[in-house]
């Protein structure tokens, strides 16, 4: 049996889980790049998580008290398993919350897995996320002696782009026909520090490649732009920040906006709160009259078919 592991960071499953989840994020050396190791890094992670937890808990409380990412990823796993057919079993595997990657790999081994295929749910490769989950997966595969292949990224895969384009078209169709052609499509991706990009990380290049593929699937005259969200800390991140970009669009006369979560395959705090609540408020205060957010891929059947094809391709290679 081939075990296919859907890899992501995960998210807290209750308000009580928020602080320990943040501890796990801040302990991750791929995500938080500080010259701290061992007990010093763990102490730093606990300190920062304790300071941030009250605010972050409020955000999760506003979207139902938990992240839906585990439920969504389980649904994606079921769809992918159905597409792959006999001989495959799909598992949810997270790096920062349960079910942890180590737990998923052990379960796969116990259930008879003879080989592993890791599938990153970060279509655009980034050392902070893709690098982190693949590192954990490789450690566990080596520990248990299981052969491993990985679908690491797929920013220009045509089937992935077709699936994502469906969400863009659905979002545009929410606008009345007479205004649809002037709706400004904002492709909002998770930001990262500029320092990471300067060291050769392909994330920004991958995001822009995905956007090019989506623009090619939209009407030729549809206005669009790219921006980045979710900045934390004082260092310089990729720009423009979506929170600044939306008022700039309004100042230039844009009245209708569709935000597309271009680097998010599942709803999480960044789509449900930041895009749908925080950025909506910023947009409306700036004078944007109609603000919509395209759906994340979530339980998209075309997305599952795209992932199944990628799994078969990496195995064949």
Distances (CA, A) of 84 to 3, 93, 313: 11, 18, 12
Q: How far apart are CA 122 and CA 142, in angstroms?
A: 23
Per-residue pLDDT, 33: 75
Q: Of 70, 65, 62, 64, whose CA–CA distance to 18 is shortest? A: 65
Is the Cα torsion angle 217, 170, 8, 28 positive or negative in sign?
positive
Please say if the pLDDT value at position 268 is more than 80: yes
Could you tell me which of 216, 298, 289 has the C-alpha nearest to residue 257?
Answer: 289
40's CB contacts (< 8 A; 6+ apart) are none
Walk across the sheet containing 290-293 and list its strands: 224-229, 184-190, 256-261, 290-293
Mean pLDDT of 130-147: 97
CATH topology of domain 158-293: Rossmann fold (3.40.50)
pLDDT in tens, 52-107: 999 999 999 999 999 999 999 999 999 999 999 999 999 999 999 999 999 999 99
* This prediction's pTM: 0.95
CA distance 280 to 258: 11
Q: Is the pLDDT of residue 32 over 90?
A: no
DSSP label at residue 77:
H
Q: How far apart are CA 233 and CA 40, in angstroms?
A: 19
Class of domain 1-153: alpha beta
**Statement: residue 259 has pLDDT above 80:** yes
Average pLDDT over every residue of 166-171? 98
Reduce the DSSP state of residue 176 to 3 states and report it: coil
Predicted local distance difference test score (pLDDT) of residue 34: 74
Q: Which residues, 6 or more positions from 174, have their beta carbon under 8 angstroms from its beta carbon? A: 258, 292
**How far from 104 is each of 82, 121, 135, CA to CA, in Å?**
19, 15, 14
Boundaries of CATH 3.40.50.1400 in the chain?
1-153, 158-293
Looking at residue 40, its pLDDT comes to 87
Q: Residue 30's pLDDT band (boundaries 50, 70, 90)?
A: confident
Residue 38: the pLDDT is 78
Region 256-272: mean pLDDT is: 97
pLDDT at 158: 98
152-171 mean pLDDT: 98
Rounded mean pLDDT, 112-126: 98
SS3 content of the chain, % helix, strand, coil (to 5): 50, 15, 35
- Residue 39's pLDDT is what? 85
Q: What's the confidence (pLDDT) of residue 138?
A: 98
């Amino acid at each position: 049996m081939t075990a296919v592991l859907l890899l992501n960071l995960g998210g807290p499953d209750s308000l009580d889980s928020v602080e320990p989840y943040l501890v796990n994020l801040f302990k991750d050396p791929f995500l938080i790049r500080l010259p701290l190791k061992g007990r010093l890094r763990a102490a730093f992670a606990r300190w920062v998580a304790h300071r941030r937890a009250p605010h972050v808990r409020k955000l999760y409380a506003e979207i139902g008290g938990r992240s839906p990412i585990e439920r969504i990823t389980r649904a994606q796993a079921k769809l992918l398993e159905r597409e792959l057919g006999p001989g495959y079993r799909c598992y949810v595997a997270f790096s920062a919350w349960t079910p942890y990657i180590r737990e998923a790999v052990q379960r796969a081994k116990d259930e008879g897995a003879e080989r592993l295929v890791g599938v990153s749910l970060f279509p655009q490769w980034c050392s902070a996320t893709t690098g982190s989950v693949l590192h954990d997966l490789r450690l566990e595969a080596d520990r248990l002696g299981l052969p491993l292949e990985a679908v690491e990224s797929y920013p220009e895969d045509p089937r992935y782009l077709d699936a994502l384009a469906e969400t863009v078209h659905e979002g545009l169709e929410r606008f009345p026909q007479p205004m649809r052609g002037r709706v400004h499509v904002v492709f909002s991706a998770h930001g990262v520090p500029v320092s990471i990009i300067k060291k050769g990380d392909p994330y920004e290049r991958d995001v822009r490649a995905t956007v090019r593929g989506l623009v090619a699937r939209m009407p030729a005259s549809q206005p669009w732009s790219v921006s980045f969200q979710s900045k934390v800390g004082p260092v310089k991140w990729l720009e423009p920040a979506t929170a600044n970009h939306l008022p700039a669009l309004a100042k230039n006369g844009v009245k209708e906006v569709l935000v597309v979560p271009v680097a998010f395959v599942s709803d999480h705090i960044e789509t449900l709160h930041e895009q749908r609540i925080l950025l909506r408020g910023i947009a409306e205060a700036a004078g944007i009259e109609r603000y919509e957010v395209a759906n994340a891929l979530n339980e998209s059947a075309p997305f599952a078919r795209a992932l199944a094809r990628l799994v078969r391709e990496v195995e064949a290679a």
